[in-house]
Amino acid sequence: MLKKLLASSLLLSSIGAYAGDVSLDYKGFYDRLKRVNKEDYSLITMAFYVPNSKNCKIISGKITTERKSYPLIYNKDQQLLLPYDEKLRSDRALIQLNLAGDTTRCGIQVQIASKTKQKHYEATSLQQMFAEMDALYTDLQGFPMKYFSKGISGISFNFQSVTQIKVNGVPKQVEDKFVLTESELKKLKHLEFSNNPVRISPWFNH
């Protein structure tokens, strides 16, 4: 179940409302971010997305407590860029979203993802990213399943349009997704994209 959730970004929880304002407890997001921040993961995070469809369009958003209101930052991929803040958790903050469309099938997606999305990568940074993704994936499974985990199989790069790629200088073209397997990563020296990826996440072949 966890593998499917992280690999294909299945819905974490249904928002279950029609167009308008939706409130979500910040604590649920904080608890997931805490799993990342308690370890020294410098390249990855837990990413939260509102599905980018006609029924899940973000009009605006904010983070609120009883006394204060803060702007909610999100990108064009509708990733919620949430702070990791103990005070917001203790103040019982809410994530408030104003959505357009029929949101009964909308939800929040959670996924292990790279913090940055670059056009150029050297082998060492991608090897570290793979190791961190694999370690966090194993940790999220908990006891005793983490001792039986097969781990991740590679790294997936998603794009918004056709992208030119160079693997160790050898060119190729992809439509919207490129997968770098663990075995390919071991042979990699450098990787180049003509466009910045919109999402970089673990890939599974099992």
- Summarize pLDDT for 149-160 with one digit per residue, the tens: 678 999 999 999
Which tokens sit at 90? 């203790």
**Stretch 64-80: mean pLDDT:** 94
Element (H, E) at 137: helix 123-141
pLDDT average, residue stretch 126-153: 82
Q: Tell me: do 109 and 17 sit in the same domain.
A: yes
Instruction: Give the number of domains in the chain.
Output: 2
Residue among 52, 77, 60, 79 nearest 22 (CA): 60
pLDDT (0 to 100) of residue 64? 97
Q: Write out pLDDT tens, residues 172-197.
A: 999 999 999 999 999 999 999 999 99
pTM of the predicted model over 0.85: no
Helices (H), 142-181: none
Among 58, 80, 113, where does a domain finish? 113
- DSSP at 148: G
Instruction: Return the number of other C-beta atoms located less than 10 Å from residue 91's C-beta.
Output: 16
The per-residue pLDDT of the chain, averaged, comes to: 86
Q: Which residues contact 154 (CB under 8 A, 6 or more apart)?
A: 130, 179, 180, 181, 182, 184, 185, 202, 203, 205
At residue 21, φ and ψ (nearest 5 deg) are -85, 140
The percentage of the chain sitting over the pLDDT mark of 90, rounded to a whole number, equals: 67
**Same domain assignment for residues 103 and 167:** no
Q: Which of 89, 104, 100, 109 is nearest to 31 (CA)?
A: 89
State the residue range of the domain holding 167.
117-203
Whether the pLDDT of residue 129 is over 50: the answer is yes
- Indicate if 6 and 108 belong to the same structural domain: yes
Q: How confident is the model at residue 70 (pLDDT cuts 50, 70, 90)?
A: very high
CA-based nearest residue to 136, from 47, 50, 9: 47
Secondary structure (DSSP) of 97-108: EEEES-GGG-EE
